[in-house]
Amino acid sequence: MSIARDALDNHGLIVGVSPERFRAVAMPLLFDHLNAQCEGTIAVNRQARIVWINDKYAEKVGIRDPASVLGKEIEEVLPASRLREVVESGQPSMIDLMAFGDEHFVVTRIPLRDEDGTLVGALGFVLFDRARHLKPLMSKYTSLQTQLVATQNELAKARRARYTIAGFIGNSPAASEIKRQARRAAQLDATVLLRGETGTGKELLAQGIHNLSPRARGPFVAVNVAAIPESLVEAELFGTAPGAFTGADRKARIGKFEVANGGTLFLDEIGDLPLPLQAKLLRVLQEQEVEPLGSNQVKALNVRVIAATHIDLEAKVAAGQFRDDLYYRLNVLALRVPPLRERASDIPAVVEHLLDDIANRSGQPPMELSPEALALLCAQPWRGNVRELGNLLERAQLSADGPQLQAAHLMPLLGDQARPVDASSHLAAVSPPAQAAAAASLEELPLQPLAQTLAQAERRALQSALAACKGNRRRAAMELGISRASLYSKLQQHGLSQR
């Protein structure tokens, strides 16, 4: 069956029309159709300046006079528009989401070319209300956006330092001095090395230094070097390039240094950093730039490092297990955090704080300690320091029957290393009448502040230890369970250093 070549349709198109004639007639029809059906149409020239906008688009984005925006750059009117990218690349963007205020428009963007194929501009159409089949996608997108914002807020909250220097409980000379040094360190942007036994509060002070520093609004990121498998330390600290090693993510993974950019990175147990990585850490500290594992690109950083250790770094340097140049780079501001036994007068305040914290977390009323129980706690060496003390109090609350903790509740928890209170042992060694007389004499004594009573007891303990060791201070320190430096400090504090 033949078709008459002069047959016309309603638009004047000849059946079997040439492609050129078809484009000439169909393109205006396509534009008119899109312009009528869509929620808005806008056009820009090669410089991404607006050359045309229809009334529907202007009304949708709150423009009273469409002519007033002609000649303006597209981003000045629609900040989220990507029409400039279409103009520069010549490639269409068929389906996209564009934010405008609280709304998201479903849009399509196509390049405009003249008869010679020269790129002259781009067209944008808002399809939002005519794309009802995209509503499930829009719903999912909105849900994901909400989850993303919530996750970002939670992550930012997790990266904030919670503690302040005032959170280091105690007013003893040792506690006051370390807090003074920490406040001083907060005003300087140099690397800090916190040294002290496990459980003394090194991370608390690190957070306090960060919160008092000009970096307080930046992230605080804590990394326990000893808790990371040696094979993963480099990736954890410095990040990885895509596919840097077998099993690595195909996407790049940023390291903790980049996460802490603009803030503070706390490297706990720095003495356990593998020797091969110490040179890389030294370079990061010196140059303030990081090179991810498997990458050839160097990224600039602005990070302050606070390191901490409980081990003897000097001994590790001497043994060749820690680089001396890294040691000197870390040891710019060195703060020694005193153990709890060197500030025994702070123990009552620390106990009260810990009991309140336990009560807040458990939802139960705070426990109270009898005077005998408190005296027992003050007599202990606390080799695990505040962490050990808090652990004991938490276990004691679980085993106690009433609201008050007695010494008898604590003794089984202290174990074989417990130090009995001297006064109790003396009273137990005499006859009942003598105990009654001793108790009566104690009641007649005037009450003194607990700190003063503890100081007097500490002085007597020092005198007894020196007498028992015939003046040998090294042995006396060993018997008392303290370092020689602590012994000398306490002797000077009590006016016994010349004896």
| pLDDT tens per residue, range 329-382 | 999 999 999 999 999 999 999 999 999 998 888 888 888 888 888 899 998 999
For domain 344-445, the CATH architecture is: Orthogonal Bundle (1.10)
Q: Which CATH class is domain 38-135?
A: alpha beta
| HSE toward the beta carbon, residue 87, CA cutoff 13 A | 19
The single-letter code of the amino acid at 409 is H
- Where exactly are the structural domains of the chain? 38-135, 165-338, 344-445, 448-499
Residue 49 has what DSSP assignment? B
Work out whether strand 192-195 and strand 333-336 pair parallel, antiparallel, or are unpaired. parallel
Q: What is the Cα–Cα distance from 494 to 474, expressed in whole angstroms?
A: 18
Q: What is the Cα–Cα distance from 341 to 170, expressed in whole angstroms?
A: 12
Matching residue, tokens 């012994």: 487
Q: What is the Cα–Cα distance from 108 to 102, expressed in whole angstroms?
A: 19
Query: Based on the number of CB atoms within 10 Å of its own CB, is 376 exposed (0-12), middle (13-18) or buried (19 or more)?
Result: buried
Pick the more confident residue, 283 or 461: 283
- Distance from chain centroid for Cα 291: 21
- Distance from chain centroid for Cα 450: 39
CA 101, 103, 108: angle at the middle one, nearest 5? 110
pLDDT at residue number 187 = 94
Q: What is the pLDDT of residues 124-174, one digit of tens each?
A: 888 765 445 566 766 777 777 777 777 656 665 555 778 899 999 999 999
User: Residues of 384-398 as b/e, b for ≥16 C-beta within 10 angstroms?
Assistant: bbbebbbebbeebbe
pLDDT at residue number 202 = 96
**Residue 333: φ, ψ to 5°:** -115, 100
Q: What is the Cα–Cα distance from 441 to 462, expressed in whole angstroms?
A: 25
pLDDT at residue number 242 = 77
pLDDT of 432 > 90? The answer is no
pLDDT at residue number 363 = 82
The single-letter code of the amino acid at 171 is N
Question: Are 43 and 52 in contact, with CB atoms under 8 Å apart?
Answer: yes
Angle of helix 371-378 relative to helix 407-414, nearest 10 degrees, comes to: 30
Q: Which two tokens stand for residue 176?
A: 């006051």
Mean pLDDT, range 289-309, rounded to an integer: 90
CA-based nearest residue to 427, from 435, 419, 437, 417:
435
Mean pLDDT, range 237-243, rounded to an integer: 84
Q: What is the Cα–Cα distance from 223 to 244, expressed in whole angstroms?
A: 22
pLDDT at residue number 309 = 95
Q: Is the dihedral of CA 436, 441, 445, 448 positive or negative?
A: negative
On whether the pTM is more than 0.75, the answer is: no
**Residue 68: φ, ψ to 5°:** -70, -15
Mean pLDDT, range 47-56, rounded to an integer: 89
- Distance from chain centroid for Cα 17: 69
**Residue 321: φ, ψ to 5°:** -100, -5
Q: Which two tokens stand for residue 102?
A: 């609280």
Q: Is the dihedral of CA 488, 493, 494, 499 positive or negative?
A: positive
CATH of 165-338, one of 3.40.50.10210, 2.60.40.10, 3.40.50.720, 3.40.50.300: 3.40.50.300
Continuous H helices in 294-406: 313-318, 324-330, 347-362, 371-378, 385-399
Q: What is the pLDDT of residues 9-36, one digit of tens each?
A: 665 555 665 666 666 666 677 677 766 7
pLDDT at residue number 448 = 62
pLDDT at residue number 487 = 76
pLDDT at residue number 423 = 44
Give the pLDDT band (50/70/90) at residue 427.
very low
pLDDT at residue number 134 = 62
The single-letter code of the amino acid at 61 is V
Q: Which two tokens stand for residue 111?
A: 């390049």
Pick the more confident residue, 275 or 158: 275
Of the chain, the end-to-end C-alpha distance in Å amounts to: 128
Work out whether strand 119-126 and strand 103-113 pair parallel, antiparallel, or are unpaired. antiparallel
Mean pLDDT, range 206-225, rounded to an integer: 94
Q: Is 1.10.10.60 the CATH number for 448-499?
A: yes
CA-based nearest residue to 202, from 278, 270, 275:
270
Residue 73 has what DSSP assignment? B
3-state secondary structure (DSSP) of residue 48: coil
